[in-house]
A = this chain, B = another copy of it.
Amino acid sequence: MTDYRAPVNDALFTLRQVGMLDELTKTQRFAHVDEETAASVLEEYGRFMQEVFGPTNAVGDRVGLQWSPEGVHVPDELTRAYAKFVEAGWQGLNAEEAYGGAGFPEAVFVLGAEFMISANGALSMCPGLTTGAIECLQEWGSEEQKEVYLRKLVTGEWTGTMNLTEPQAGSDVGLATTKAVPQDDGTYRISGTKIYISFGEHDMAENIVHLVLARTPDAPPGTKGISLFIVPKFLVDEDGSLGERNDVKCVSIEHKMGIHASPTCVLSYGDDGGAVGFLVGEEGQGMRAMFTMMNSARIAVGVQGVGLSEVAYQQAWQYAQDRRQGREIGGESKEPAPIVVHPDVRRMLLYMRSHVEAMRALAVYNAAALDLSRALDGEDGERWREIAELLTPVTKAWCTDVGCEVTSTAIQIYGGMGYIEESGVAQYFRDARIAPIYEGTNGIQAMDLVGRKLPMRMGGVVTDFIAEMRRVDARLEAAGDDFTTIRTNLAAALDALEEATGWIMTNGLADPKEALAGATAYLAMFGQATGGWLLARLALGAHEELAAGSDRTDFLESKVVSARFYADHYLPRVAGLLGSVRAGAGDLYALDVAGLASS
């Protein structure tokens, strides 16, 4: 294992070329953030993560968590690292300044999040969930709730959770049955069982702010009857000090394939009469509050794919130089060569590297679109909101699916050693496998893309976006021979994407099942093509910086190679997925369930 090093140069280059920092800085909301500030923050953040979080990753995986009736014990190394995180004030990076945050844009934040995930993916979930709670309370909390809870979340002194899932209510949140009974004092008594609650209980912070979806007594069935409540682990006295333990218990934690240092809790509310809960917003608006933070939460999960891929890439890159096997083809030496000389090993490295860069660019671009949607008014803001909405399911699903493949490729480069836990790369692979599942499974993301996002503005949003991607063509043509195959392969991929889009819009209108049958393949096309477009932009940016006289020749030229490798190898696969989109639902329903059984 080599130590993780935060790829700050790659991050800043991505931010400059596709993060729209110039436009962000021009807005009132982000006027305090310029490239220099962003650079120094990311450098600091990266150093913190590589020095403080990074060294705790293996021990968190190996030692894991200890549950007892009193709570969940997190390994001391992680608790100490988290304390330093709080001390440094990093939790508030993208929180509003009014409540103690630094007010940085999401485009910068996701790059920091990537560093944190690379350093310790399991531990990163705690600040990650807190960020979600912050965003939710910023938007929906009362002034009092903001003063009491939000400020403590922004400092990181208290951590946050999201309580959606119940045993019978997973993807289908509307089936939730947790009860919230109103009391004369304006509070509610919450009772029910929530599962899969990440960091639902732990001993790293003095209090935990649970955000809980529950149903008031006369609420209508389904999602419309769901309200959102703050249920603190410890009640807060008037002077802000911690009071009584609330009626919520962690009754068990799950034994998972990965993210061993992230407690996945079963929380039981109301065993002793009901946990005290405080309504956030109005009754029946719980799902709306969830939707507020859905975009950033989903982008953040996509970033898990990026972060785990990046650190796995760093390990594989080093191992490929250290491990010697076989001779170089056409080489002079009779000694065993570092395996990086072999074509298939290089192919794997370039696959990993180019996809890390494409995923990172997608996450940053998506986050920047979200920032601009918030920072700009009127039509301009609306255009960016549309793009952010369109891309969010793609960022979440594509980056997490690719994250599984890239971390798997790291194992393959390690060979037998990769399968052995001590090598460390197996952990990235195990940790990565949850991301396609939570925060809406990738199947749900594909349904969201096809069922909600394509119909936006009667298809106008997706059509505009594809047209925007096509506009890079002229710049590619002008950039010369190095860009020829990028240009032709990108154009062909966009043709295929356009054809698939047309097929889905036409056939989905007649029968949604026809469109949904190909939704996952469509999302894969979308991600692969958009990744290629963003890499092309990075390559063009590099080309232009070179032309402008930058002396970072190696760095910039490597961006052109990444984009070309990806274009030559992966953009042609976009058209290969068209068959799956156009196959429709016929084959899927040709057999009844019994007919699908093995026999």
Contacts and interface: CB of A to CB of B under 8 A. Distances in A.
Contacts of A321: 593
Interface string A7-48: 111100000000000000000000000000000000000000
A340 B589 CA distance: 10
Interface in A429-456: 429-430, 433-434, 436-438, 441-443, 446-447
A236 interface: no
Nearest to A195: B416
Contacts of A520: 344, 347
Contacts of A374: none
Given A416-B438, A517-B347, A255 B422 contact: yes
A415 B587 contact: no
Contacts of A578: 572
Given A317-B596, A587-B564, A254 B569 contact: no
A521 to B, nearest CB: 7
B576 A419 contact: no
Secondary structure of the A contact surface, majority rule: helix
Contact of A415 (B9, B170, B416, B511): B170
Interface stretch (A77-85, A99-107, A385-393, A551-559): A551-559
A344 B433 contact: no
Contact of A599 (B10, B168, B338): B10
Contacts of A347: 517, 520, 588
Contacts of A570: 579-580
A179 interface: no
A255 B423 CA distance: 10
Interface in A563-599: 564-565, 568-580, 583, 585, 587-591, 593-599
A418 interface: yes
Interface in A360-381: none
A227 interface: no
A161 to B, nearest CB: 15
A489 interface: yes
A458 interface: no
A576 B568 CA distance: 11
B421 A9 contact: no
A428 to B, nearest CB: 11
Contacts of A342: 443, 516
Nearest to A438: B416
Given A196-B416, A589-B346, A596 B433 contact: no
A169 B596 CA distance: 45
A544 interface: no
A420 interface: yes
Given A411-B433, A554-B595, A588 B325 contact: no
Given A343-B517, A561-B595, A573-B580, 4 more contacts: A257-B429, A310-B598, A411-B437, A415-B437
A404 interface: yes
A353 interface: yes
Interface in A515-543: 516-517, 519-521
6 contacts: A344-B443, A344-B517, A554-B595, A561-B590, A568-B583, A570-B579
B419 A433 contact: yes
A489 B7 CA distance: 44
Nearest to A593: B340
Contact of A314 (B346, B590, B598): B598
Contact of A596 (B257, B349, B446, B591): B349
A475 interface: no
B404 A408 contact: yes
Contact of A521 (B254, B569, B587): B569
A20 to B, nearest CB: 22
Contacts of A517: 343-344, 346-347
B598 A430 contact: no
A336 interface: yes
A437 B418 contact: yes
A464 to B, nearest CB: 27
Interface string A149-187: 000000000000000010011111001000000000000
Nearest to A4: B598
Given A165-B416, A329-B512, A344-B447, A568 B579 contact: yes
Contacts of A489: 579
Contacts of A168: 324, 336
